[in-house]
């Protein structure tokens, strides 16, 4: 079955960096685009970034553009999110999600990893 497991969250000071990982199993990883979506405590969902199935295209939310980088390693079935210059407002649960083969919709989600930004 499709499984997505995020890791790498934790407490980080403002201005510092963190790298999140999402390990995928149960499907052919390089057939799917992948998303990062975040959810601040008690708030709604905010799309963060997407990477095409072949890594050829990457798109970012304006709120993270220039600070975050999405990447993938198909040999490891792993998606990454490099987060630099972290701010208090980046604190959230970060979910990775698989893009549905059709319909451009995130069809499977991980359980999320919590990022806390605090001095």
Partner 1 sequence: IVMTQTPLSSPVTVGQPASISCRSSQSLVHSDGNTYLSWLQQRPGQPPRLLIYEISNRFSGVPDRFSGTGAGTDFTLKISRVEAEDVGVYYCMQATQSWTFGQGTKVEIK
Residue 45 binds partner 1, judged by CB under 8 A:
yes
- Considering CB under 8 A, how many residues would be counted as binding partner 1? 23
- Distance between CA atoms of 66 and 4, rounded to whole angstroms? 26
Among the listed ranges 9-17, 69-77, 80-88, 99-107, the one in contact with partner 1 (CB under 8 A) is 99-107
Nearer CB in complex with partner 1: 86/97: 97
Site string for partner 1, 51-70 (x = CB under 8 A): --------x-x---------
- Distance between CA atoms of 38 and 83, rounded to whole angstroms? 13
Strands annotated E in the chain:
3-7, 10-12, 18-25, 34-39, 45-51, 58-60, 68-73, 78-83, 92-99, 106-109, 113-117
CB of 109 to partner 1, least distance (A): 4
Nearer CB in complex with partner 1: 58/84: 58
């Amino acid at each position: 079955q499709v499984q997505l497991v995020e890791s790498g969250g934790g407490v980080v000071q403002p201005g510092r960096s963190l790298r999140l990982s999402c390990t995928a199993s149960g499907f052919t990883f390089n057939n799917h685009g992948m998303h990062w979506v975040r959810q601040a405590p008690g708030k709604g969902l905010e799309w963060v970034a997407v990477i095409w199935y072949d890594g050829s295209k990457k798109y970012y939310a304006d709120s993270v553009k220039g600070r975050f980088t999405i990447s993938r390693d198909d040999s490891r079935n792993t998606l990454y999110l490099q987060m630099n210059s972290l701010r208090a407002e980046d604190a959230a649960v970060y979910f990775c999600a698989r893009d549905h083969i059709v319909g451009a919709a995130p069809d499977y989600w991980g359980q999320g990893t919590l990022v806390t930004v605090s001095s």
